Amino acid sequence: MEVPMKTDWHDYLALFGRIFIAAIFFMSGINKILAPGATQEMMAQAGMPLPGLFLVGAIVLEIGGALSLLFGAFTFWGSLALLIFMIPTTLIFHTNFADPNQMIHFMKNLAMIGGILYVMGAGPGRISVDAKRKPESYRRTEADARRRAA
Q: Provide the 8-state DSSP code for 98.
A: T
Query: Residue 8: what pLDDT?
Result: 80
Query: Residue 137: what pLDDT?
Result: 65
CA distances from 121 to 15, 33, 59, 97, 110 (A): 15, 31, 25, 30, 16
Query: Residue 9: what pLDDT?
Result: 85
Dump the DSSP string for 37-48. Answer: HHHHHHHHHTT-
Enclosing domain of residue 143: 2-149
In the chain, the number of structural domains is 1
Backbone φ, ψ for residue 97 (5° rounding)? -75, -10
Tell me the mean pLDDT per 10 residues along the chain, length 150. 65 95 98 95 92 95 98 97 96 93 96 97 92 72 58
Residue 103 CA to residue 94 CA, distance in Å, equals 7
Query: Residue 144: what pLDDT?
Result: 58
